[in-house]
């Protein structure tokens, strides 16, 4: 029983970290869209790597301790809801990583522009508000919610 509780604790700690990191990154991204000056955009986006680190830590903890918990509790990895959760986990990481690349490029551009003249830049705004990477980041968040639903209800 103690091992089950330890595995569950670290699995849930990972889930909280995963969601918290995604929320931090998403909030910073949407806040940066509303800013015009590169220094303001940079001030927000330079905090995004901390959120991304939380996502990475949470992703690792949820995967490792989730698999260990499933094996320990006798579920294995063959149940459909576990396979769906693993597939969504992988898709969320790939799609979220794609969305994060545009924000990383925007952060570097904003830093350079802020150091030059800090004048509003349509190119920077277009990069920060690029619809496809932004949609990818939102889709990744929705996948996290779907994983949460699978974990709570364990259908099938």
- Calpha distance 140→92 (Å, rounded): 4
Q: Which of these, 33, 44, 19, lies nearest to 146 by C-alpha position?
A: 19
Q: What is the pTM of this model?
A: 0.90
What are the backbone angles phi and psi of residue 73, rounded to the nearest 5°? -85, 0
23 — phi, psi (to 5°)? -65, -40
Which whole number is the average pLDDT over 110-134? 96
Tell me how crowded residue 1 is: count the other CB atoms within 10 A of its CB: 5
- Kindly report, residue by residue over 46-99, the tens digit of the pLDDT: 999 999 999 999 999 999 999 999 999 988 888 899 999 999 999 999 999 999
Q: Report pLDDT for 61.
A: 98
CB atoms within 10 A of CB 66: 24
Average pLDDT, the chain: 95
Nearest to 134 by CA among 28, 40, 8, 11: 28
């Amino acid at each position: 029983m103690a091992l089950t509780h330890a595995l569950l604790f670290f699995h849930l700690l990972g889930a909280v970290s995963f969601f918290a990191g995604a929320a931090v990154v998403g909030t910073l991204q949407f806040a940066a869209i509303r800013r015009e000056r590169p220094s303001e955009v940079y001030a927000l986006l330079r905090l995004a790597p901390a959120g991304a680190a939380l996502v990475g830590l949470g992703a690792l903890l949820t995967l490792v301790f989730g698999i260990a918990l499933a094996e320990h509790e006798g579920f294995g990895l063959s149940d459909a809801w576990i396979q769906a959760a693993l597939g969504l986990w992988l898709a969320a990481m790939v799609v979220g990583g794609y969305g994060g690349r545009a924000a990383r490029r925007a952060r570097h551009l904003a830093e350079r522009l802020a150091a030059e003249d800090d004048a509003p830049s349509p190119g920077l705004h277009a990069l920060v508000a690029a619809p496809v990477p932004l949609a990818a980041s939102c889709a990744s968040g929705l996948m996290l919610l779907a994983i949460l639903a699978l974990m709570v209800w364990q259908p099938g």
